[in-house]
Amino acid sequence: MANYTAFTAEHAVDYIKKLTESELSSVFTPNAELSAYEFGDGNLNLVFRVTDQHNNSVILKQALPYARCVGESWPLSLDRARIEADVLINHGSLCPEHTVAILHHNAELALTVLEDLGHLQILRGAQINAEQFPKLASHVAQYLSRTGFYNSDFYLSADDKKAKVSQFINPDLCKITEDLFFTDPYIEHERNHFPAELNSSVQHIRNNNALKLAAAKLKARFLSCPQTLLHGDMHSGSIFVDNNTTKMIDPEFGFFGPVGFDIGSFMGNLLLNYCAQNGRIAELAKRRHYQTHLLTCLQDCYSQFEEQWLNLASNETTDVSFANRAFTEDYLKSVLHDAIGYCGAELIRRTIGLAHVADIDGIENEQARLAVQQQTLVLGEQLMLNATSCENKDEFFTLLISLLN
């Protein structure tokens, strides 16, 4: 990219100033006095907040030509900014209620201007503090069923689908997921990190051939099952919330992959928080109350996702071959198997792989933290091993409850 330059806060102000009379005229006046600061806390990109004297603001997100959390030794394509913008446009047109609004995109500078969601909270931080969001389950179910269904073969013509699959080819970021989810945790690799006290649990995982087979099958489907346009990184840090609102951000890992991946990742993050609370909330009744809320959220979300997909399939399917209840049920059964497997893989990779979660790493007491890490490893293993034996969602919920007790 000939004109690419990594932005400073000054660049961000100058850039946004030029847009105040065009694309950003509904946010800022032409005489806006702008200031900016960088506050990205994700693994990959720069994120600036640009604010005027009246506290109007936007977010300017820019991709670096490498992974921010590692540095220049891990080069990454700037095309991920284009992918993120295109997913936001696609998902925003199908589910505007739950997709952050995109205000501007510049592919050459690999930057995107977004609505500022600073009045909301990031789900991960809120759940670490045991906060509840009554609409989260139904909002995530609506986002995943609508974006999932309308980008699938149930709805798109074969020509449109192929064009979209090609629009969202995302090799660099898919490779990160392929490595971090399905490969690294099951081998010795310098990217992994975990305390020495977990050595025997990690060896157990690496000696478990059935588990490694399950990981390989999940990876193969991730590589070769272009069912729908995924968000691709549906963890609790990609979701902004309050009591009435849920907004997804950061779909730069988007590509056409297996439907079960996003909902599996989301459920995995609920379960990471569930286990983490064993090391966080000391009072048993309070802890059980919050964990029941998390489990209900997971069950409601999965149930509503499935129900909404079934409804969309009976009303909106365009391909006559797929307008068949038995086919939809069979399809959703394999989505369930994938979702359980990806959920388990998320638990394992967030415990011993490169990218951990603050829910667990932030537990101060070392013994309590280790006990939680042991629990997430066993839970992840059992979900991956038993995924395909669940005939339906109720069997999945029964399995989950038995594993959590």
Ligand X SMILES: Nc1ncnc2c1ncn2[C@@H]1O[C@H](COP(=O)(O)OP(=O)(O)O)[C@@H](O)[C@H]1O
Ligand Y SMILES: CSC[C@H]1O[C@H](OP(=O)(O)O)[C@H](O)[C@@H]1O
The binding site for ATP comprises: 45, 61, 115-117, 250-252
Point out the annotated binding site for substrate.
Answer: 233, 349
Contact 335, 257 (CB under 8 A): no
Is 125 near ligand Y (CB under 6 A)?
Answer: no
Q: Closest separation between CB of residue 274 and ligand Y, Å?
A: 19
Give which of ligand Y, ligand X, none residue 41 binds (C-beta under 5 to 8 Å, depending on kind): ligand X
Q: Closest separation between CB of residue 186 and ligand Y, Å?
A: 16
Is 64 near ligand Y (CB under 6 A)?
Answer: no
Is 42 near ligand Y (CB under 6 A)?
Answer: yes
Residue numbers of the site for ligand X (CB under 6 A)?
40-45, 47, 59, 61, 100, 114-118, 122, 237, 249-250, 252
Residues 329-358, one symbol each (x = binds ligand Y by CB under 6 A, - = not), give -------------------------xx---
Q: Closest separation between CB of residue 184 and ligand Y, Å?
A: 10
Q: Closest separation between CB of residue 253 and ligand X, Å?
A: 9
**Residue nearest ligand Y, CB atom distance:** 43
Is 43 near ligand Y (CB under 6 A)?
Answer: yes
Q: Closest separation between CB of residue 249 and ligand X, Å?
A: 5
Q: Closest separation between CB of residue 210 and ligand Y, Å?
A: 25
**Residue nearest ligand X, CB atom distance:** 42
Give which of ligand Y, ligand X, none residue 100 binds (C-beta under 5 to 8 Å, depending on kind): ligand X
Contacts to ligand Y from residues 158-187, by CB under 6 A: 176-177, 180
How many residues in the chain? Answer: 405
Q: Closest separation between CB of residue 181 and ligand Y, Å?
A: 7
HSE-CB for 404 with a 13 A CA cutoff: 20
Give which of ligand X, ligand Y, none residue 114 binds (C-beta under 5 to 8 Å, depending on kind): ligand X
Is 233 near ligand Y (CB under 6 A)?
Answer: yes
As given in the structure block, the two tokens for residue 351 are 């415990």
Q: Which stretch binds ligand Y (CB under 6 A): 39-47, 110-118, 337-345, 361-369?
A: 39-47
Q: Long-range CB contacts (< 8 A, 24+ apart) of 104-108?
A: 104/19, 104/23, 104/24, 105/81, 107/81, 107/82, 108/1, 108/2, 108/3, 108/4
Please say which residue, 122 or 368, places its beta carbon nearer to ligand Y: 122
Q: Closest separation between CB of residue 100 and ligand X, Å?
A: 5
Please say which residue, 64 or 95, places its beta carbon nearer to ligand Y: 64
Is 276 near ligand Y (CB under 6 A)?
Answer: no
CA–CA distance, 148 with 313 (Å, rounded to integer): 11
Give which of ligand X, ligand Y, none residue 69 binds (C-beta under 5 to 8 Å, depending on kind): ligand Y
As given in the structure block, the two tokens for residue 115 are 């609505």
Q: Residue for token digits 């065009």?
A: 22
Is 237 near ligand Y (CB under 6 A)?
Answer: yes
Binding residues for ligand Y, how many (CB under 6 A)? 15
Q: Which residues bind ligand Y (CB under 6 A)?
A: 42-44, 67, 69, 176-177, 180, 233, 235, 237-238, 250, 354-355
